[in-house]
Amino acid sequence: MAEIARRLVEALDGLLGVPVPLRVRAWDGSVGGPPGAPTVVLRNRRALRRLLWRPSELGLARAYVSGDLEVAPGTDLYDVLRAVAHFAERPEVRRLRLGPGEVLGARGRRVAGALLRAGVLGPEPVPPPEEAPVGRGRLHSRGRDRAAIHHHYDVGNDFYRLVLGPSLVYSCAYWEPAAKSLEAAQEAKLDLICRKLGLRPGMRLLDVGSGWGSLVLHAARHYGVTAVGVSISEEQVALARRRVEEAGLADRVEIRLQDYREIPDGPFDAISSVGMAEHVGEAQYRVYAEGLYRLLVPGGRLLNHQIARRPDHPGEPYRPSPFINRYVFPDGELSPVGSTVSRLEEAGFEVRDVESLREHYGLTLREWVANLEARWTEAVGLVGRGRARVWRLYMAASALAFEENRIGVNQILAVRTAADGAAHLPATRAEWLAVPGAVAGTASDLPVPEGPGAGPAVTDLGDRGSVR
């Protein structure tokens, strides 16, 4: 009688001391696990070998990316991921620290017996080819950072357009009550950043990690600034330059293939960094913050938009997600928002505002997942089935992580104050958010503001400094 799934689930329940929250259908047709639970399908013995050798999210991810494990028809991927995430946080499971290939203890022998009878014991399967190569060189050196960025961002602009939509904005949208679409919400986010930065005609903007150029295009078109966008993704830079030319803004927008540590031509009146600082790393964050500080005029503003992790469980070291690190963002690092604020302050900035957009990112990721699933066949044709499955898994899991407050995202507005301590900001938050944005107009439609701090932040650039 086919009963591999039932025996396996019973053995795992005994090992862990708590019931596994998934229903399992094995390659022999057997089914085990609680009725009504989200169902996964083990398509072959190799799926179990992956889980045995890497009994963590990495083994589960490799099984899914390779196609050895599937989500059963009629089962929502979000339901599977939610069940797994909650299960992994149970104290009984957290106490069980299995290493690669280890099944230990008296109860572990029961699992080993079930696996032996299923005929799945054997060498560790080769990881799916979408896994990033192990980084070479010093962590967050310029060469290693370029390789990490290449792995994630240089997978094809057509694929990114399919997932992100025509806005090509790869960070959370801003879902105002009137937003009827992802595009409208992304437009609102771009405008929110411009208003927080107090952009005005004639100002000079630096966008660090500028992606496909959407923010600098918006700022030049609607706020009359001149802008420089820098990225170390060759494919992003190529498309961003083409978009600038097509928009007729080449005289006001420059896109560079350049590391943030190599920008020689400050100062700038304002700096934006959106979804880029996660790649900087703890060891380089002071270099990043101090470099941006030196690139700003006194009185200039920085808008740092960055994903944050919650503080770790007491007494446990920070553990980056092995799946995200191997398949999505090699060498990426998340810090609590309090640590980021402290680093910016240590660099000399005055932090004036912190706004959480956590729920906005959950909504945005669900839209991206829907875009991918609606054009799945086309996506697979562009990047292959394995990479498309990486993206589906990472975006769906990330949506849940934001929704359930396991990670967050924050916009931090900071100022390089003038020599006399002046920040050149209006007195209230409502005032500096109420800058006329003219989203439906052009830069020439914008009034030129009057009064202290209304135009380019400062004209005295004597202590502008330079980037080391």
Calculate ∠ Cα 168-406-159, nearest 5°: 20
What is the pLDDT at residue 437?
46
Which of 272, 335, 344, 329 has its CA nearest to residue 301?
Answer: 272
Q: What mean pLDDT do residues 205-218 have?
A: 97
High-pLDDT (> 70) share of the chain, %: 80
Contact indicator for 237, 258 with CB cutoff of 8 Å:
no
* CA atoms within 13 A of residue 92's CA, in its CB half-sphere: 11
Beta-carbon contacts of residue 293 (< 8 Å; ≥ 6 apart): 302, 347, 348, 349, 416, 465
At residue 134 the predicted structure's pLDDT band, cuts being 50, 70 and 90, is low
Q: Is the pLDDT of residue 95 over 90?
A: no
User: Is residue 234 classed exposed, middle or buried when 0-12, 13-18 and 19+ CB atoms within 10 A define those classes?
Assistant: middle
Phi, psi (5° rounding) for residue 119? 70, 30
DSSP string computed for 3-24: -HHHHHHHHHHHHHSS--SSEE
Peptide bond into 336 cis (omega under 30): no
What is the pLDDT at residue 102?
43
Token representation of residue 211? 């992606």
Sign of CA dihedral 181, 187, 191, 194: positive
Which CATH fold topology does 143-445 show? Answer: Rossmann fold (3.40.50)
Q: Is the pLDDT of residue 32 over 70?
A: yes
At residue 454 the predicted structure's pLDDT band, cuts being 50, 70 and 90, is very low
User: 230 forms bridges with which residues in the sheet?
Assistant: 208, 256
What is the pLDDT at residue 52?
78
What is the pLDDT at residue 459?
29
Q: Using CA atoms, how far apart are residues 29 and 294, in angstroms rounded to an integer?
A: 64
Q: What mean pLDDT do residues 150-162 have?
A: 82
The residue ranges of every structural domain in the chain are 4-118, 143-445
Q: Is the pLDDT of residue 44 over 60?
A: yes
What is the pLDDT at residue 382?
95
What would the pLDDT profile of 388-415 be if each residue is shown by its tens digit? 999 999 999 999 999 999 999 999 999 9
What is the pLDDT at residue 463?
32
